[in-house]
Amino acid sequence: MVVAAIGDLHCPKLPADVLARLLSSVADTAEVLVLCGDLTDRGLEDEARALGHALRNAVKIPVVAVLGNHDHEAGKPDAVKAALADAGVQVLDGEAVEIRGVGFVGVKGFGGGFGVRALQPWGEETIKRFVHEAVDEAVRLESALAKLRTSRQVVVMHYAPIDGTVKGEPPEIYPFLGSSRLEDPLVRYPVSAVFHGHAHHGSPEGRTRAGTPVYNVAIPLLQRAFPDRPPIRTVEITE
């Protein structure tokens, strides 16, 4: 299967009609479109409906998505999810879905940092809650992966699970771009590929400790890394 992936649409900052033109030919080269969060700019239902309308008219292949931090900005992520679902988008939030023999799992993810410098759950209750949010997202990711029985598995998230794809960002903001806690389930299960966004100035590709490729598909990054082609990453998913 060939998957096309893109993240950080920030509709309507990137207008729906521009997105429609950008994605209208994706079915020529891919069988599934993956959207890696920050689909809207302020998390408003009207923004999600405008994006959904554009996707319904422009994209003729299955669309799988996760929400990002911007999609939570207005405090109405369920309304954003429902508006996109009305347009036929499969918004995953700790769930798994099988499409043409390939399993797709999606979570938003969260921050906290990477490796030995990751934030630990001690001290103030606020710090503990922050860490537990990342832990909860990792547990939901693992639970969804455990339900799949497909030989090919694709993980979609917004935050980065490794530091390799955030390199290029200021080191001071690494803790806000992802968490290595999200990497642990990716090592324990036979994941074929991982897609995320969020790190606009990171690196386009890295690998987990198990060697699984991880792709950062934030639009600003793709525009900078591949200026001679549309900002969509196309990857063939093999066993």
Element (H, E) at 54: helix 45-58
Q: What is the pLDDT of residue 239?
A: 73
Please say if the pLDDT value at position 154 is more than 90: yes
pLDDT in tens, 107-151: 999 999 999 989 999 999 999 999 999 999 999 999 999 999 999
pTM over 0.95: yes
Sign of dihedral through CA atoms 203, 145, 212, 152? negative
Q: Which bin fits 95, alpha (ψ -120 to 50), beta or left (φ > 0)?
A: beta
| Rg of the chain over all Cα atoms, to the nearest angstrom | 16
Tell me: cis bond preceding 12? Omega within 30 of 0 counts: yes
- Provide the token pair at 88: 């036929």
Measured between alpha carbons, how far is 23 from 5 in angstroms, rounded to an integer?
Answer: 10
For residue 108, which of 88, 79, 138, 85 has the smallest C-alpha distance? 138
The CATH number of the structural domain formed by 2-236 is 3.60.21.10
Backbone φ/ψ region at 123: left (φ over 0), alpha (ψ -120 to 50), beta: left
